[in-house]
Structure 1
Amino acid sequence: MTSISGSRILVTGGAGFIGSHLVDTLLARGAAEVRVLDNLTNGTEDNLAHLHGDARFSLTVGDIRSADARAAAMNGAEVVYHLACLGVRHSLHDPFENHRVNAEGSLQMLEEARERGVGRFVYVSTSEVFGTAQYAPMDERHPTWPETVYGGGKLAGEAYARAYFRTYGMDTVVVRPFNTYGPRSHFEGDSGEILPRTIVRMLSGQRPVIYGDGEQTRDFMHVSDTATALALFGDADGVSGETFNLGSGTEISMNELCTVVADTVGRPELTAEHLEARPGDVRRLIGDPSHTHELTGFAPRVGFAEGITELTRWFRARQRESPEMIDRVEVRNWLPAGVN
């Protein structure tokens, strides 16, 4: 297996939140070249602006469903990390487009990689493939009953990656991050996540919004840890054809999350506003990270309180530069644009 150090790597979706941090990590580990293929639907060039002076980095603006874009980006690549996708709330208002990108696009990427003899293909999935926990913590053999087209499409991509390993002997790895947070996370539009949305609202003096009773739980991991773990799967031994959970092994409810953020922001009086339950919302997620630890030695380093403090500081600085950020936070962000 080719080592990450000295190798040529393609990261699809590399201008996004997790993808851009992964690019940073791969370059720090000595990759000879890191290419990004991203259509900038969710990602931004700003996430990669600090790399424009690095000769080892390049960005191609294009769609994974374009044969020309795939061919140009993957030519000569030894390792592919496939993160490009459309998100869970997008799938609620545009299920067919979500499927075409997440399922069909992943199959197209796998076939391109097979034809070009890519050394390893890391498919980055999601804990949403599970649906709500039937037992906890959730290991890799937990039943998969996704509650959204997003979860279904990502599960299809997993199945294709495993099939390419079994049918063609292609070196594929499936990794399922649970809930990642940290700098560059999305707060706007249908890609906005609970933590950044809540922080931006509270920094603007607005109450946080919780859908339903707030007892839904999630397993959060800081993006620096997620990127570190993903990088390890690029050249780890004994992982081919395998599926791995990537979480902290702890859970926090949305009610608890809002309390932690309020205290960190210094606005404990901003109590949560409860709205109707969100469609397709998973009730409970908590991963069992032991398989990942056993095969790679990875363990998260950033604690939740430390990570929230850092993220609050990061958003506070950006809000000083762009006070209109609050205008881009949509309350019911699973509805079509402009409907709220």
Structure 2
Amino acid sequence: MSRKILVTGASGWLGIAIVQALLARGDQVVALDLRSSPASLALATRHPELTLAEADLGEWSQVVDVFKAHGPTAVVHTAAIVGVVLAADVPIKTLRVNTEGSINLFEAMRLHGVKRVVHLSTEETYGDFTAPVITEDHPQKPNSVYGLTKLAAEHYGRVYTDRYGLECINVRTCWVYGPNLPRARVPKVFIDAALDGTAYHLTAGGDLAVDQVYIDDTVAGVLLALDKKNHRFDAYHIATGQAPTIDDVARFVREFVPGANVSTAPGLYLHGDRFPTARKGALDISRARQELGYSPQYDLRAGIEKSILEARAERTAKRAGGIGP
């Protein structure tokens, strides 16, 4: 029997991938965002079991209206202002969206008897890693506005779990990548340069070791957390359990695009050339393996290869349609 899953941030890069995965297995989906994207509108024309809803999570009355109108049975919460740089540039808006929006969502769930929400959280809630590989019990001491607001949302979820019986499950992922990554960061910057035949040199940060997870594995982990009948824990790492370097990314791009002129230099990695990164590493995925049956399908090399294949196919399709160069 299918369920009706509300997906917030459903027009975003990760949100729409989750919507597609839910539809593929037969769930009814309510796709919520500030506005429906062309991709969401196109998806809705092919899937009558998909309902599009437009609302601002920061507006309490709009959130309640969505629950009244559509009656979801569970929630996947991806809506957020994402990223260290963007969140730092609009800190008040980030608080309103990431934290206040989550509170409005939890409160609407409480009032309408909806128990489970899977919240997309981040390794930024930890701040500096104190070891090369960390578990979910690592101290959470964020040093970015983004990490701080996501940690606040986690803690509010714990209050609603303890006081009202909600099941607020946090999926902490790391640097998610894949086709059509909407931000100009690794590995997109390397792949785009390689396929464009232009040079790209990262002047510092090549020796940064960080868990990088392909989007398909992220989606799979989210659905496993959504489906698990009884949770003993409220947080899971959905990543790879490995920490390749940024230079490894460039090396794999050069492997799959012969002649690619992409490279790195060691030194402190800066988000957006402005904000020093927190100390990173790998996320231990033992809990997700044991509790959820999670098993990532893509190591970095395989994920980079697929990202390049997808990017090439998209460029070919655009040229065939007379779009772009």
Same fold? TM cut 0.5: yes
Distance 1:193 1:246 in 2: 20
Which runs of structure 1 show a deviation greater than 4 angstroms over 4 or more consecutive aligned residues? 273-277, 322-326
Matches within 5 A, 1:162-311: 162-186=158-182, 191-210=183-202, 212-239=204-231, 242-272=234-264, 277-278=269-270, 279-311=275-307
TM-score by length of 1: 0.85
- State whether residues 207 and 266 of structure 2, in contact with CA within 8 Å, keep that contact through their aligned partners in structure 1: no
Aligned-pair distance for 1:234? 1.4
Cα distance change on mapping 1:241 and 1:201 into 2, 3 Å? same
Aligned equivalents of 1:207, 1:49: Cα separation in 2: 36
Distance 1:232 1:277 in 2: 33
Partner of residue 118 from structure 1, selected from 114, 124, 136: 114
Q: How big is the alpha-carbon RMSD for the aligned residues of Structure 1 and Structure 2?
A: 2.4
Q: Which is bigger in relative contact order (C-alpha 8 A, separation at least 6)? A: 1
- 2:11 corresponds to: 15
> How far apart are the structure 1 equivalents of 2:223 and 2:201?
34
Report whether the alignment pairs 1:71 with 2:64. yes
Q: Residues of 2 paired with 1:238 and 1:313: CA distance? A: 38
Percent same amino acid at aligned positions? 26
Task: Find the partner of 2:148 among 136, 145, 152.
Answer: 152
* Other-structure match for 1:142: 138
Q: Distance in 1 between matches of 2:41 and 2:277?
A: 31
When structure 1 is superposed on structure 2, of 259-268 and 165-174 the one drifting more is 259-268
**What's the CA shift for 1:253?**
0.8
Alpha-carbon shift at residue 198 of structure 1 (Å): 2.0
Q: In the TM superposition, what is the alpha-carbon distance from 1:209 to its structure 2 partner?
A: 4.4
Amino acid at match of 1:287: L
Taking the aligned partners of 1:65 and 1:118, their CA distance within structure 2 comes to 19
User: Separation in 2 of the partners of 1:211 and 1:292?
Assistant: 36
1:181: Cα distance to partner? 1.6
Aligned-partner Cα distance in 1 for 2:288–2:196:
39
CA distance in 1, matches of 2:40, 2:46: 14
Structure 2 counterpart of 1:84: 79
Report the Cα offset of residue 237 of structure 1: 2.5
Provide, for residues 180-224 of structure 1, a one-character-per-residue CA deviation record: whole Å limited to 9, x for no partner: 2222321xxxx4331122211222223334363421122122211
Equivalents in 2 of 1:231, 1:19: separation in Å?
Answer: 12
> Structure 2: 5+ residue runs without aligned partners?
none
Structure 1 regions of 5+ residues with no counterpart? 327-340
SS at match of 1:180: strand
Query: Aligned AA for 1:251?
Result: A
TM-score (ref. length: structure 2): 0.88
Alpha-carbon distance between aligned partners in 2 of 1:128 and 1:313, rounded to the nearest angstrom: 30
Q: Quick one: which amino acid aligns to residue 253 of structure 2?
A: V
Task: Tell me the SS of whatever aligns to 1:200.
Answer: helix
Q: CA deviation at 1:69?
A: 3.2
Q: Is the contact between residue 171 and residue 241 of structure 1 (CA under 8 Å) also seen in structure 2?
A: no
Match of 1:337 in 2: none
